[in-house]
Amino acid sequence: MDQVFNVLKQRFGHQTFRPGQEKTIRAILDEQQVVSVLPTGTGKSLCYQLPSYLLNGQVIIVSPLISLMEDQVRSLIKHGEKHVVAINSQLSLEERQWVFQRLNQYRFIFVTPESLMNRELINRLKHLSISMFVVDEAHCISTWGIDFRPDYERLYSVIKELSYPKVLALTATATSQVLMDIKEKLFNMSLPIQTINTSVNRPNIYYHVEEMQATATKNEWLRVFVSRYQGPGMIYCTTRKDTEAVSQFLKEKTSLKVAYYHGGMNGVERANIQQQFIQGSLDCLVATSAFGMGVDKGNIRYVIHYQLPNSLESYVQESGRAGRDGQQSVSIVLYDENDQRIHHYFRKELENEWQTYAQLTEMEDISKDSYSDIQTKWFDYQEKERFSKEELENRIKQRLQDKQNQVNQMLFFLNTNACRREVILKYFGHESIEAQEICCDNCNEFSQEGLPIGLYGEKLKNHQQKIKKPEEIIKKLFNS
């Protein structure tokens, strides 16, 4: 038996790999640059954790969310790995200095893109033997770049300073355009790049769209749904205000244990809510997109989007939180055509930020205190990457157009009469599959009155029974 399987069994206690894992692991051991697209719930973290025990030196993992890296740190410690650290904004100055002085003692170094730009940290990393540079949730390079977190655009500069270690980019969702974006911004294009692209299809997730007319209608629908269908489940909202309002409504109108989660909460509050949900103390969690990436909870039975998701990429990522244990689960979008307004507002806000920035940079003796957070990041990015204002403006204009195109694609998914699963597969450039018995609302011929919620909690007596009728499909679909 070779070393890869030895480590898999002895270190991680597994006998076999999930789809795409072994291919990714062997690729990064043999090659210098690898990008791997693996479906949500297939264990992407193993793809860098296992090779680290076969390579010499430290592994840097760039992670987009503090909650995600904390989750991964806890998981590694739980499995016996003590040489792991997370570097982010939650460390005090004293803690940061203590960690910096001991970097050579760690095998895994988790860091946010922003923290990685610290000059002292880069200088210290240059004195280490970096075996692998990993970018987790690599689609963020494309989706969270110039308009939100410009430091993602600067990762290649750090890789270059570290003398080009092995680079592994991991994501669950990437169109051909996003894949190209990842490669151009992260890899040395003059060297070979191995691409591993597995299907985004999640056969155990049923897709459904419920058209709504107003907030009150949505809330009543939710009340009935969560009361009759056993979770645990998640409800995604676009704004922090909505997460709190929906959570409060469900607390008042049901007997369920419900909480909300968003980026405006402090770290202790977020960690507390996350642990409650993971440990099974909550029936339902109402959250913004700040929650979810890499969260290790396999038995989420439903994911509901309270509003129009901003893109098909985000939707597939977030709906993919359901059914990681392989059991039948459901993804539902509550769609009101007025939901488009919030995305228009976000795009307009970005336009206004740029116009103000352009005006400020024309003025003399302007303090950086006059800039907003994102404008300060643009200023730093321009200065350090030597971008002209015109080049930066073109990047932002392109990003605005991309955002509109993504919303349009999401609208197509919501309004189509075709198989929703096929729309997802086609968008991500994957091949069609054979028709599934349980697929989506367009394939299973449900009545126009909507989902027969009353059947959600019913158990199917014969799990192997051949499904022939819509009502039987529903029974199996929501078998708990």
Domain ranges of the chain: 3-197, 205-339+410-477
Q: How far apart are CA 184 and CA 89, in angstroms?
A: 28
Contact 63, 87 (CB under 8 A): no
Torsion of CA 84, 86, 87, 90, to 10 degrees: -140
Q: Strand 194-197 relative to strand 33-37: parallel, antiparallel, unpaired? A: parallel
Question: What are the Cα distances from residue 1, in Å, to 15, 21, 118, 442?
Answer: 12, 17, 43, 47
State residue 148's pLDDT score.
Answer: 61
Burial 192-209 (b: 16+ CB within 10 A, else e): ebbebbbbbbbbbbbbbb
Tokens of 470: 């819509």
CB burial of residue 125 (10 Å; 0-12, 13-18, 19+): buried
State residue 460's pLDDT score.
Answer: 32
Q: Where are the alpha helices (DSSP H) in 107-214?
A: 113-116, 119-125, 140-143, 155-161, 176-186
Tokens of 151: 């430091």
Strand partners, 85: 109
Amino acid type, 251: K
State residue 109's pLDDT score.
Answer: 96
State residue 448's pLDDT score.
Answer: 38
What is the CA 98 to chain-centroid distance, rounded?
Answer: 31
What is the assigned CATH class of domain 3-197?
alpha beta
Tokens of 458: 């019913």
State residue 462's pLDDT score.
Answer: 32
CB burial of residue 454 (10 Å; 0-12, 13-18, 19+): exposed
Number of alpha carbons in the 13 Å side-chain half-sphere of residue 158: 30
Contacts of 57 (CB under 8 A, 6+ apart): 128, 129, 130, 131, 132, 165
Contacts of 240 (CB under 8 A, 6+ apart): 262, 263, 264, 288
Closest by CA position to 204, among listed 477, 474, 426, 473: 477
State residue 378's pLDDT score.
Answer: 82
What is the CA 375 to chain-centroid distance, rounded?
Answer: 25
Whole-angstrom Cα Rg for the chain:
23
Q: Which helix (H) or strand (E) holds 318?
A: helix 312-319
**pLDDT tens sequence for the chain (480 residues):** 589 999 999 888 889 998 899 999 999 999 899 999 988 777 889 999 999 999 999 999 998 877 778 888 888 888 889 999 999 888 888 999 999 999 999 999 999 998 999 999 999 999 999 999 999 988 888 776 665 677 888 899 999 999 999 999 999 888 888 899 899 989 998 889 999 998 889 888 989 999 988 888 899 999 988 988 878 999 999 999 999 999 999 999 999 999 999 988 887 898 899 889 999 999 999 999 888 666 778 899 899 999 999 899 989 989 999 988 888 888 999 999 888 888 887 888 888 888 888 888 888 778 778 888 888 878 877 777 677 788 888 888 888 888 889 899 999 999 999 999 999 999 998 888 888 878 898 987 654 344 433 333 443 333 333 333 444 444 444 554
Tokens of 129: 């033997």
Using DSSP, state whether 332 is helix, strand or coil. strand
Q: How far apart are CA 170 and CA 436, in angstroms?
A: 28
Q: Which helix (H) or strand (E) holds 242?
A: helix 240-253
State residue 451's pLDDT score.
Answer: 46
Omega before 232 cis (within 30°)? Answer: yes
205-339+410-477 CATH fold: Rossmann fold (3.40.50)
